[in-house]
Structure 1
Amino acid sequence: MKLIKLDAIDSTNEFLKSLSSQQEPENFTVVTAENQTKGKGQMGAVWRSDVGKNLIMSVLVKDFLLNNEQFFNLNIIISLSVIKTLEELNIPELSIKWPNDIMSYNKKLGGILIENTLKSDGTIVSVVGLGLNVNQINFQNLPNASSLAVICNAEFNKDELVILIVEKMKEKILLWKEQSDIFWDEYFNKLFRKGVPMPFRNLDNQNFMGIIQGVSPIGKLQVLLEDDSVSEFEIKEIQMLY
Protein backbone atom coordinates (compact mmCIF):
# COMPACT_ATOMS: atom_id res chain seq x y z
CA MET A 1 0.00 0.00 0.00
CA LYS A 2 1.11 3.59 -0.58
CA LEU A 3 1.30 5.54 2.68
CA ILE A 4 1.28 9.35 2.84
CA LYS A 5 2.18 10.70 6.28
CA LEU A 6 1.27 14.28 7.14
CA ASP A 7 2.07 16.31 10.25
CA ALA A 8 -1.09 18.39 10.08
CA ILE A 9 -4.00 18.74 7.67
CA ASP A 10 -7.51 20.12 7.75
CA SER A 11 -8.97 16.67 6.93
CA THR A 12 -7.34 13.47 5.69
CA ASN A 13 -10.57 12.63 3.85
CA GLU A 14 -10.54 15.98 2.03
CA PHE A 15 -6.84 15.57 1.18
CA LEU A 16 -7.40 12.11 -0.28
CA LYS A 17 -10.53 13.16 -2.19
CA SER A 18 -8.59 16.06 -3.71
CA LEU A 19 -5.68 13.78 -4.62
CA SER A 20 -8.06 11.30 -6.23
CA SER A 21 -9.68 14.05 -8.34
CA GLN A 22 -6.29 15.19 -9.69
CA GLN A 23 -4.49 11.88 -10.10
CA GLU A 24 -5.13 8.14 -10.21
CA PRO A 25 -3.73 6.99 -6.86
CA GLU A 26 -3.43 3.24 -6.38
CA ASN A 27 -6.12 1.31 -4.59
CA PHE A 28 -5.74 1.35 -0.78
CA THR A 29 -3.63 4.50 -0.78
CA VAL A 30 -3.51 5.64 2.86
CA VAL A 31 -3.18 9.14 4.31
CA THR A 32 -2.39 9.63 8.00
CA ALA A 33 -1.97 12.79 10.06
CA GLU A 34 -0.70 13.63 13.52
CA ASN A 35 -3.13 16.52 13.74
CA GLN A 36 -6.40 17.18 11.92
CA THR A 37 -7.84 20.68 12.24
CA LYS A 38 -11.23 20.06 10.62
CA GLY A 39 -11.94 16.41 11.27
CA LYS A 40 -15.55 15.40 10.80
CA GLY A 41 -17.86 12.53 11.58
CA GLN A 42 -21.27 11.44 10.35
CA MET A 43 -23.56 14.23 9.09
CA GLY A 44 -20.99 16.96 9.74
CA ALA A 45 -20.29 16.17 13.40
CA VAL A 46 -16.87 17.43 14.55
CA TRP A 47 -14.12 14.93 15.40
CA ARG A 48 -11.50 16.21 17.88
CA SER A 49 -8.23 14.50 18.75
CA ASP A 50 -5.15 15.26 20.87
CA VAL A 51 -2.16 15.98 18.62
CA GLY A 52 -0.01 12.89 18.00
CA LYS A 53 -1.98 10.63 20.32
CA ASN A 54 -4.56 9.01 18.09
CA LEU A 55 -4.92 7.31 14.74
CA ILE A 56 -6.23 9.64 12.05
CA MET A 57 -6.32 7.97 8.65
CA SER A 58 -8.11 7.81 5.32
CA VAL A 59 -8.01 4.95 2.82
CA LEU A 60 -8.90 4.99 -0.87
CA VAL A 61 -11.10 2.06 -1.94
CA LYS A 62 -11.77 1.50 -5.64
CA ASP A 63 -13.50 -1.22 -7.67
CA PHE A 64 -15.78 -2.43 -4.87
CA LEU A 65 -19.04 -0.51 -4.89
CA LEU A 66 -21.08 -0.80 -8.09
CA ASN A 67 -24.15 1.27 -7.19
CA ASN A 68 -25.54 3.43 -4.40
CA GLU A 69 -27.66 0.58 -3.01
CA GLN A 70 -24.43 -1.16 -1.98
CA PHE A 71 -22.98 1.71 0.07
CA PHE A 72 -23.66 0.02 3.41
CA ASN A 73 -21.72 -3.09 2.35
CA LEU A 74 -18.49 -1.12 2.59
CA ASN A 75 -19.57 0.22 5.96
CA ILE A 76 -19.86 -3.37 7.19
CA ILE A 77 -16.45 -4.35 5.85
CA ILE A 78 -14.67 -1.37 7.41
CA SER A 79 -16.41 -1.68 10.79
CA LEU A 80 -15.61 -5.39 11.02
CA SER A 81 -12.02 -4.83 9.87
CA VAL A 82 -11.43 -2.44 12.76
CA ILE A 83 -13.23 -4.70 15.23
CA LYS A 84 -11.28 -7.81 14.17
CA THR A 85 -7.97 -5.95 14.33
CA LEU A 86 -8.70 -4.74 17.85
CA GLU A 87 -9.88 -8.19 18.93
CA GLU A 88 -6.51 -9.60 17.86
CA LEU A 89 -4.91 -6.99 20.13
CA ASN A 90 -7.10 -8.23 23.01
CA ILE A 91 -9.21 -5.09 23.33
CA PRO A 92 -12.19 -6.25 25.44
CA GLU A 93 -15.96 -6.03 24.97
CA LEU A 94 -15.96 -4.61 21.44
CA SER A 95 -19.12 -3.68 19.59
CA ILE A 96 -20.38 -1.45 16.76
CA LYS A 97 -22.78 1.33 17.67
CA TRP A 98 -24.87 1.73 14.53
CA PRO A 99 -23.86 2.66 11.97
CA ASN A 100 -20.12 2.58 12.58
CA ASP A 101 -18.91 3.82 15.97
CA ILE A 102 -16.37 1.48 17.54
CA MET A 103 -17.17 0.76 21.18
CA SER A 104 -15.47 -0.98 24.10
CA TYR A 105 -17.89 -1.65 26.93
CA ASN A 106 -20.11 1.47 26.66
CA LYS A 107 -17.32 3.86 25.64
CA LYS A 108 -16.61 5.14 22.14
CA LEU A 109 -13.12 4.35 20.84
CA GLY A 110 -13.54 5.66 17.33
CA GLY A 111 -15.71 6.44 14.36
CA ILE A 112 -15.77 5.88 10.62
CA LEU A 113 -16.81 8.25 7.85
CA ILE A 114 -17.12 6.88 4.31
CA GLU A 115 -17.51 9.38 1.45
CA ASN A 116 -18.32 8.08 -2.03
CA THR A 117 -17.69 9.85 -5.33
CA LEU A 118 -19.26 8.89 -8.66
CA LYS A 119 -16.67 9.29 -11.41
CA SER A 120 -17.49 10.39 -14.97
CA ASP A 121 -16.99 6.81 -16.21
CA GLY A 122 -19.65 5.56 -13.77
CA THR A 123 -17.26 3.99 -11.26
CA ILE A 124 -17.54 4.73 -7.54
CA VAL A 125 -14.47 5.71 -5.55
CA SER A 126 -14.70 5.62 -1.75
CA VAL A 127 -12.63 7.49 0.80
CA VAL A 128 -12.77 5.75 4.17
CA GLY A 129 -11.93 7.95 7.12
CA LEU A 130 -11.14 6.43 10.51
CA GLY A 131 -10.52 8.22 13.77
CA LEU A 132 -9.43 5.88 16.55
CA ASN A 133 -8.54 6.96 20.09
CA VAL A 134 -5.26 5.17 20.75
CA ASN A 135 -2.95 6.79 23.32
CA GLN A 136 -5.01 9.75 24.49
CA ILE A 137 -5.69 9.63 28.23
CA ASN A 138 -7.72 12.75 29.00
CA PHE A 139 -11.30 12.96 27.72
CA GLN A 140 -12.53 15.96 29.68
CA ASN A 141 -16.09 16.91 28.75
CA LEU A 142 -16.41 13.70 26.69
CA PRO A 143 -17.96 11.26 29.18
CA ASN A 144 -18.74 8.60 26.56
CA ALA A 145 -15.23 8.52 25.03
CA SER A 146 -12.24 6.34 25.83
CA SER A 147 -9.09 4.97 24.16
CA LEU A 148 -7.10 1.77 23.76
CA ALA A 149 -4.59 3.10 26.29
CA VAL A 150 -7.25 3.80 28.92
CA ILE A 151 -9.05 0.50 28.38
CA CYS A 152 -5.87 -1.62 28.44
CA ASN A 153 -3.53 0.54 30.54
CA ALA A 154 -0.86 0.31 27.82
CA GLU A 155 0.51 2.29 24.88
CA PHE A 156 -0.04 1.15 21.30
CA ASN A 157 1.94 1.61 18.07
CA LYS A 158 -0.18 3.68 15.68
CA ASP A 159 1.90 2.79 12.61
CA GLU A 160 1.36 -0.91 13.22
CA LEU A 161 -2.36 -0.32 13.65
CA VAL A 162 -2.57 1.34 10.21
CA ILE A 163 -0.99 -1.67 8.52
CA LEU A 164 -3.08 -4.21 10.42
CA ILE A 165 -6.38 -2.44 9.69
CA VAL A 166 -5.71 -1.94 5.97
CA GLU A 167 -4.61 -5.56 5.55
CA LYS A 168 -7.83 -6.68 7.24
CA MET A 169 -9.83 -4.42 4.88
CA LYS A 170 -8.15 -5.94 1.83
CA GLU A 171 -8.81 -9.45 3.12
CA LYS A 172 -12.51 -8.84 3.72
CA ILE A 173 -13.06 -7.07 0.40
CA LEU A 174 -11.57 -10.07 -1.41
CA LEU A 175 -13.84 -12.43 0.53
CA TRP A 176 -17.00 -10.33 0.22
CA LYS A 177 -18.60 -12.08 -2.78
CA GLU A 178 -18.39 -15.50 -1.13
CA GLN A 179 -19.00 -14.43 2.45
CA SER A 180 -21.29 -11.38 2.35
CA ASP A 181 -24.03 -13.19 4.31
CA ILE A 182 -21.51 -14.16 6.99
CA PHE A 183 -20.24 -10.58 7.22
CA TRP A 184 -23.79 -9.25 7.60
CA ASP A 185 -24.37 -11.76 10.41
CA GLU A 186 -21.10 -10.76 12.09
CA TYR A 187 -22.05 -7.09 11.87
CA PHE A 188 -25.46 -7.76 13.41
CA ASN A 189 -23.93 -9.88 16.18
CA LYS A 190 -21.56 -7.02 17.03
CA LEU A 191 -24.29 -4.34 17.22
CA PHE A 192 -24.16 -2.33 20.42
CA ARG A 193 -27.21 -2.91 22.65
CA LYS A 194 -29.02 -5.13 20.14
CA GLY A 195 -31.98 -7.11 21.42
CA VAL A 196 -32.40 -5.24 24.71
CA PRO A 197 -34.98 -2.55 25.59
CA MET A 198 -33.39 0.89 25.60
CA PRO A 199 -34.43 4.54 25.33
CA PHE A 200 -34.14 6.52 22.08
CA ARG A 201 -34.83 10.10 21.04
CA ASN A 202 -36.29 11.12 17.66
CA LEU A 203 -35.97 14.29 15.59
CA ASP A 204 -38.85 15.88 17.51
CA ASN A 205 -36.90 15.43 20.77
CA GLN A 206 -39.42 12.83 21.91
CA ASN A 207 -38.09 9.93 23.98
CA PHE A 208 -39.35 6.41 23.38
CA MET A 209 -38.42 2.82 24.18
CA GLY A 210 -37.37 0.34 21.54
CA ILE A 211 -35.34 -2.79 20.83
CA ILE A 212 -32.75 -2.92 18.03
CA GLN A 213 -33.74 -5.73 15.66
CA GLY A 214 -31.19 -5.32 12.90
CA VAL A 215 -30.17 -3.22 9.92
CA SER A 216 -31.87 -3.03 6.52
CA PRO A 217 -29.98 -3.81 3.28
CA ILE A 218 -29.43 -0.08 2.72
CA GLY A 219 -28.27 0.54 6.27
CA LYS A 220 -31.33 1.79 8.14
CA LEU A 221 -31.62 0.84 11.82
CA GLN A 222 -34.59 -1.44 12.49
CA VAL A 223 -36.20 -0.86 15.88
CA LEU A 224 -39.07 -2.79 17.48
CA LEU A 225 -41.42 -0.26 19.11
CA GLU A 226 -43.76 -0.67 22.07
CA ASP A 227 -46.76 -1.25 19.79
CA ASP A 228 -44.92 -4.27 18.28
CA SER A 229 -44.31 -2.49 14.97
CA VAL A 230 -40.81 -2.22 13.48
CA SER A 231 -39.65 1.16 12.21
CA GLU A 232 -36.56 1.95 10.16
CA PHE A 233 -34.43 5.02 10.84
CA GLU A 234 -31.77 6.89 8.86
CA ILE A 235 -28.60 8.25 10.44
CA LYS A 236 -29.42 11.23 12.68
CA GLU A 237 -33.16 10.41 12.68
CA ILE A 238 -32.66 8.59 15.97
CA GLN A 239 -30.37 8.92 18.96
CA MET A 240 -29.55 6.15 21.41
CA LEU A 241 -29.71 7.27 25.04
CA TYR A 242 -27.24 5.16 26.99
Structure 2
Amino acid sequence: MFIVKLNAIDSTNSYLRKLSVDETIDDYTTVIAKKQTRGRGQMGTVWDSQASKNLTFSVFKNVSQLYLEHPFYISVVTSLALLKTLQLFSIPRLSVKWPNDILSENKKICGILIENVIKQNSIKASVIGIGLNVNQTKFENLPKASSLKIISGKVFNLDEIVHEILKNLKHYFLLLEKGNYDLLKKDYEAYLFRKNKPSTFKDEEGIVFSGFIKGISKSGNLQVLLEDDIIKEFDLKTITLLY
Protein backbone atom coordinates (compact mmCIF):
# COMPACT_ATOMS: atom_id res chain seq x y z
CA MET A 1 0.00 0.00 0.00
CA PHE A 2 1.53 3.27 -1.19
CA ILE A 3 0.50 6.61 0.35
CA VAL A 4 1.26 9.95 -1.34
CA LYS A 5 0.92 13.06 0.85
CA LEU A 6 0.54 16.45 -0.84
CA ASN A 7 0.34 19.92 0.64
CA ALA A 8 -2.09 21.18 -1.99
CA ILE A 9 -3.70 19.82 -5.14
CA ASP A 10 -6.72 20.74 -7.25
CA SER A 11 -8.39 17.35 -6.66
CA THR A 12 -6.99 14.09 -5.29
CA ASN A 13 -9.34 12.16 -7.60
CA SER A 14 -8.02 13.98 -10.68
CA TYR A 15 -4.40 13.48 -9.55
CA LEU A 16 -4.87 9.76 -8.93
CA ARG A 17 -6.77 9.22 -12.19
CA LYS A 18 -3.93 10.81 -14.14
CA LEU A 19 -1.37 8.78 -12.20
CA SER A 20 -3.21 5.55 -13.02
CA VAL A 21 -3.25 6.42 -16.73
CA ASP A 22 0.43 7.40 -16.86
CA GLU A 23 1.80 4.40 -14.96
CA THR A 24 0.88 1.10 -13.34
CA ILE A 25 0.07 1.69 -9.69
CA ASP A 26 -0.52 -0.66 -6.79
CA ASP A 27 -3.91 -1.53 -5.40
CA TYR A 28 -4.98 0.83 -2.59
CA THR A 29 -2.50 3.51 -3.62
CA THR A 30 -3.76 6.53 -1.67
CA VAL A 31 -3.31 10.26 -2.31
CA ILE A 32 -3.92 12.56 0.66
CA ALA A 33 -4.01 16.36 0.37
CA LYS A 34 -3.77 18.87 3.21
CA LYS A 35 -5.71 21.23 0.97
CA GLN A 36 -7.82 20.72 -2.15
CA THR A 37 -8.29 23.79 -4.30
CA ARG A 38 -11.01 22.25 -6.46
CA GLY A 39 -12.43 19.37 -4.46
CA ARG A 40 -15.48 17.83 -6.11
CA GLY A 41 -18.62 16.19 -4.80
CA GLN A 42 -21.48 14.29 -6.40
CA MET A 43 -22.95 15.75 -9.61
CA GLY A 44 -20.48 18.61 -9.85
CA THR A 45 -20.89 20.07 -6.36
CA VAL A 46 -17.88 21.59 -4.58
CA TRP A 47 -16.45 20.00 -1.43
CA ASP A 48 -15.30 22.80 0.92
CA SER A 49 -12.72 21.83 3.53
CA GLN A 50 -10.30 23.74 5.77
CA ALA A 51 -6.65 22.85 5.17
CA SER A 52 -5.04 20.31 7.54
CA LYS A 53 -8.18 19.91 9.65
CA ASN A 54 -9.99 17.30 7.61
CA LEU A 55 -9.36 14.29 5.42
CA THR A 56 -9.47 14.75 1.67
CA PHE A 57 -8.04 11.70 -0.06
CA SER A 58 -8.51 9.24 -2.90
CA VAL A 59 -7.86 5.52 -3.13
CA PHE A 60 -7.08 3.51 -6.27
CA LYS A 61 -8.79 0.12 -6.45
CA ASN A 62 -8.26 -2.40 -9.21
CA VAL A 63 -11.65 -4.05 -9.83
CA SER A 64 -10.82 -5.78 -13.12
CA GLN A 65 -11.16 -9.22 -11.49
CA LEU A 66 -14.57 -8.51 -9.92
CA TYR A 67 -16.61 -8.63 -13.16
CA LEU A 68 -19.07 -6.25 -11.55
CA GLU A 69 -22.56 -6.42 -13.00
CA HIS A 70 -23.61 -3.58 -10.69
CA PRO A 71 -20.95 -0.90 -10.09
CA PHE A 72 -23.01 0.55 -7.23
CA TYR A 73 -21.52 -2.12 -4.97
CA ILE A 74 -18.26 -0.11 -5.00
CA SER A 75 -20.26 2.66 -3.34
CA VAL A 76 -21.82 0.17 -0.91
CA VAL A 77 -18.42 -1.18 0.12
CA THR A 78 -16.97 2.31 0.60
CA SER A 79 -19.95 3.47 2.68
CA LEU A 80 -19.76 0.41 4.94
CA ALA A 81 -16.00 0.85 5.43
CA LEU A 82 -16.55 4.44 6.54
CA LEU A 83 -19.44 3.54 8.84
CA LYS A 84 -17.40 0.80 10.49
CA THR A 85 -14.47 3.20 10.99
CA LEU A 86 -16.64 5.93 12.48
CA GLN A 87 -18.25 3.44 14.86
CA LEU A 88 -14.76 2.52 16.08
CA PHE A 89 -14.19 6.19 16.93
CA SER A 90 -17.52 6.28 18.83
CA ILE A 91 -19.40 8.57 16.45
CA PRO A 92 -23.11 8.12 17.26
CA ARG A 93 -26.30 7.70 15.20
CA LEU A 94 -24.66 6.98 11.89
CA SER A 95 -26.54 6.58 8.64
CA VAL A 96 -25.97 6.73 4.90
CA LYS A 97 -28.04 9.21 2.91
CA TRP A 98 -28.46 7.56 -0.47
CA PRO A 99 -26.37 7.16 -2.44
CA ASN A 100 -23.32 7.70 -0.22
CA ASP A 101 -23.35 10.71 2.11
CA ILE A 102 -22.43 9.67 5.64
CA LEU A 103 -24.46 11.36 8.37
CA SER A 104 -24.39 11.55 12.15
CA GLU A 105 -27.97 12.23 13.22
CA ASN A 106 -29.06 14.44 10.29
CA LYS A 107 -25.72 16.23 9.78
CA LYS A 108 -23.38 15.41 6.89
CA ILE A 109 -19.87 14.50 7.98
CA CYS A 110 -18.56 12.67 4.92
CA GLY A 111 -18.97 12.63 1.16
CA ILE A 112 -17.84 10.08 -1.40
CA LEU A 113 -17.09 10.55 -5.09
CA ILE A 114 -16.36 7.40 -7.08
CA GLU A 115 -15.00 7.67 -10.61
CA ASN A 116 -14.63 4.46 -12.56
CA VAL A 117 -11.98 3.72 -15.18
CA ILE A 118 -13.75 1.95 -18.04
CA LYS A 119 -11.96 0.09 -20.83
CA GLN A 120 -13.56 -2.14 -23.47
CA ASN A 121 -17.00 -1.64 -21.88
CA SER A 122 -16.00 -2.96 -18.46
CA ILE A 123 -14.82 -1.29 -15.25
CA LYS A 124 -11.12 -1.89 -14.76
CA ALA A 125 -10.50 0.31 -11.73
CA SER A 126 -12.12 2.81 -9.40
CA VAL A 127 -10.80 6.02 -7.93
CA ILE A 128 -12.58 6.44 -4.61
CA GLY A 129 -12.59 10.00 -3.34
CA ILE A 130 -13.43 10.62 0.32
CA GLY A 131 -13.97 13.92 2.10
CA LEU A 132 -14.37 13.50 5.86
CA ASN A 133 -14.94 16.46 8.19
CA VAL A 134 -12.71 15.74 11.18
CA ASN A 135 -11.37 18.66 13.23
CA GLN A 136 -13.08 21.61 11.50
CA THR A 137 -15.61 23.39 13.74
CA LYS A 138 -17.08 26.14 11.54
CA PHE A 139 -18.90 25.65 8.24
CA GLU A 140 -19.93 28.85 6.50
CA ASN A 141 -23.41 28.67 4.95
CA LEU A 142 -23.55 24.89 5.40
CA PRO A 143 -26.18 24.34 8.12
CA LYS A 144 -26.36 20.59 7.48
CA ALA A 145 -22.60 20.00 7.84
CA SER A 146 -20.82 18.77 10.95
CA SER A 147 -17.53 17.14 11.95
CA LEU A 148 -16.18 14.47 14.27
CA LYS A 149 -14.87 17.16 16.64
CA ILE A 150 -18.20 19.00 16.81
CA ILE A 151 -20.02 15.74 17.51
CA SER A 152 -17.58 14.23 20.02
CA GLY A 153 -15.65 17.20 21.41
CA LYS A 154 -12.38 15.38 20.66
CA VAL A 155 -9.46 16.20 18.37
CA PHE A 156 -8.62 13.29 16.09
CA ASN A 157 -5.39 12.03 14.52
CA LEU A 158 -5.92 12.14 10.75
CA ASP A 159 -3.37 9.42 9.93
CA GLU A 160 -4.99 7.03 12.39
CA ILE A 161 -8.38 7.51 10.75
CA VAL A 162 -7.00 7.00 7.21
CA HIS A 163 -5.31 3.74 8.13
CA GLU A 164 -8.50 2.44 9.75
CA ILE A 165 -10.57 3.39 6.67
CA LEU A 166 -8.11 1.60 4.37
CA LYS A 167 -8.17 -1.49 6.58
CA ASN A 168 -11.96 -1.57 6.46
CA LEU A 169 -12.04 -0.93 2.71
CA LYS A 170 -9.90 -4.04 2.23
CA HIS A 171 -12.23 -6.03 4.49
CA TYR A 172 -15.37 -5.08 2.57
CA PHE A 173 -13.79 -5.42 -0.87
CA LEU A 174 -12.78 -8.94 0.14
CA LEU A 175 -16.46 -9.68 0.87
CA LEU A 176 -17.33 -8.27 -2.56
CA GLU A 177 -14.66 -10.40 -4.23
CA LYS A 178 -16.19 -13.46 -2.53
CA GLY A 179 -19.58 -12.57 -4.02
CA ASN A 180 -21.36 -11.66 -0.78
CA TYR A 181 -23.68 -9.23 -2.57
CA ASP A 182 -26.78 -9.96 -0.49
CA LEU A 183 -24.93 -9.47 2.80
CA LEU A 184 -23.41 -6.17 1.66
CA LYS A 185 -26.77 -4.92 0.37
CA LYS A 186 -28.50 -5.87 3.62
CA ASP A 187 -25.84 -4.14 5.75
CA TYR A 188 -26.03 -1.00 3.61
CA GLU A 189 -29.83 -0.90 3.76
CA ALA A 190 -29.73 -1.22 7.56
CA TYR A 191 -28.00 2.20 7.67
CA LEU A 192 -30.23 3.97 5.11
CA PHE A 193 -31.20 7.45 6.30
CA ARG A 194 -34.97 7.81 6.82
CA LYS A 195 -35.68 4.20 5.88
CA ASN A 196 -39.36 3.38 6.54
CA LYS A 197 -40.05 6.97 7.61
CA PRO A 198 -42.36 9.39 5.80
CA SER A 199 -40.06 11.50 3.63
CA THR A 200 -40.32 14.27 1.05
CA PHE A 201 -38.66 14.08 -2.35
CA LYS A 202 -38.27 16.25 -5.44
CA ASP A 203 -38.06 14.76 -8.91
CA GLU A 204 -36.06 16.05 -11.88
CA GLU A 205 -39.00 18.20 -13.01
CA GLY A 206 -39.15 19.92 -9.62
CA ILE A 207 -42.31 18.14 -8.47
CA VAL A 208 -42.40 17.46 -4.71
CA PHE A 209 -43.92 14.21 -3.46
CA SER A 210 -44.01 11.99 -0.38
CA GLY A 211 -43.01 8.38 0.18
CA PHE A 212 -41.20 5.83 2.32
CA ILE A 213 -37.66 4.65 1.53
CA LYS A 214 -37.73 0.84 1.50
CA GLY A 215 -34.26 -0.08 0.24
CA ILE A 216 -32.12 -0.18 -2.89
CA SER A 217 -32.20 -2.34 -6.00
CA LYS A 218 -29.21 -4.43 -7.05
CA SER A 219 -28.27 -1.67 -9.47
CA GLY A 220 -28.33 0.90 -6.65
CA ASN A 221 -31.61 2.63 -7.46
CA LEU A 222 -33.59 3.96 -4.50
CA GLN A 223 -36.82 2.05 -3.86
CA VAL A 224 -39.61 4.31 -2.60
CA LEU A 225 -43.10 3.25 -1.48
CA LEU A 226 -45.52 5.82 -2.89
CA GLU A 227 -49.00 6.79 -1.67
CA ASP A 228 -50.75 4.35 -4.01
CA ASP A 229 -48.84 1.40 -2.46
CA ILE A 230 -46.54 1.09 -5.46
CA ILE A 231 -42.80 0.76 -4.98
CA LYS A 232 -41.01 2.83 -7.58
CA GLU A 233 -37.29 2.89 -8.33
CA PHE A 234 -35.34 6.10 -8.86
CA ASP A 235 -31.77 6.57 -9.99
CA LEU A 236 -29.39 9.26 -8.74
CA LYS A 237 -30.21 11.88 -11.36
CA THR A 238 -33.99 11.67 -11.04
CA ILE A 239 -34.70 12.23 -7.35
CA THR A 240 -33.55 14.35 -4.41
CA LEU A 241 -34.38 13.60 -0.78
CA LEU A 242 -35.50 16.82 0.90
CA TYR A 243 -35.51 15.23 4.41
TM-score (norm 1): 0.96
Q: Deviations over 1:190-217 (max 9, x none)?
A: 0000001111111121111110011111
> Does the 8 Å contact 2:222/2:235 carry over to 1?
yes
1:20-169 aligned within 5 A = 20-63=20-63, 66-67=66-67, 69-119=69-119, 124-169=124-169
- For residues 166 and 99 of structure 1, the distance between their equivalents in structure 2, rounded to whole angstroms, comes to 20
Q: Which residue identity does 1:2 align to in structure 2?
A: F
Q: Which of 23-32 and 180-189 deviates more? A: 180-189
Hey, what does 1:171 align to over in structure 2? 171
Hey, what does 1:219 align to over in structure 2? 220
Alpha-carbon offset, residue 179 of structure 1: 3.1
Q: Deviations over 1:4-59 (max 9, x none)?
A: 00000000000000000000010000000011111111111111111111100100
SS in structure 2 of the partner of residue 239 of structure 1: strand
Q: Deviations over 1:101-143 (max 9, x none)?
A: 0000000001101100123695611000000000000012101
Alpha-carbon offset, residue 63 of structure 1: 3.1
Hey, what does 1:8 align to over in structure 2? 8
Hey, what does 1:231 align to over in structure 2? 232
Q: How many residues align?
A: 242
- For residues 125 and 227 of structure 1, the distance between their equivalents in structure 2, rounded to whole angstroms, comes to 41
Q: Which residue identity does 2:111 align to in structure 1?
A: G
> Does the 8 Å contact 2:3/2:30 carry over to 1?
yes
- For residues 18 and 104 of structure 2, the distance between their equivalents in structure 1, rounded to whole angstroms, comes to 33
Hey, what does 2:183 align to over in structure 1? 182
Q: Which residue identity does 1:132 align to in structure 2?
A: L
Q: Which residue identity does 1:191 align to in structure 2?
A: L
SS in structure 1 of the partner of residue 237 of structure 2: coil
Q: Which of 37-46 and 68-77 deviates more? A: 68-77
- For residues 68 and 172 of structure 2, the distance between their equivalents in structure 1, rounded to whole angstroms, comes to 20
Q: Deviations over 1:70-122 (max 9, x none)?
A: 21111111000000000011100000000000000000001101100123695
Q: Which residue identity does 2:205 align to in structure 1?
A: D
> Does the 8 Å contact 1:64/1:173 carry over to 2?
no
- For residues 186 and 64 of structure 2, the distance between their equivalents in structure 1, rounded to whole angstroms, comes to 20
Percent identity between matched residues is 48
Q: Which of 170-179 and 151-160 deviates more? A: 170-179
SS in structure 2 of the partner of residue 149 of structure 1: helix
Hey, what does 2:210 align to over in structure 1? 209
> Does the 8 Å contact 1:65/1:74 carry over to 2?
no
Cα RMSD over matched residues? 1.5
- For residues 178 and 216 of structure 1, the distance between their equivalents in structure 2, rounded to whole angstroms, comes to 16
> Does the 8 Å contact 1:195/1:212 carry over to 2?
yes
> Does the 8 Å contact 1:212/1:224 carry over to 2?
yes
- For residues 78 and 30 of structure 1, the distance between their equivalents in structure 2, rounded to whole angstroms, comes to 14
- For residues 199 and 65 of structure 2, the distance between their equivalents in structure 1, rounded to whole angstroms, comes to 34
- For residues 194 and 16 of structure 2, the distance between their equivalents in structure 1, rounded to whole angstroms, comes to 34
- For residues 110 and 173 of structure 2, the distance between their equivalents in structure 1, rounded to whole angstroms, comes to 21
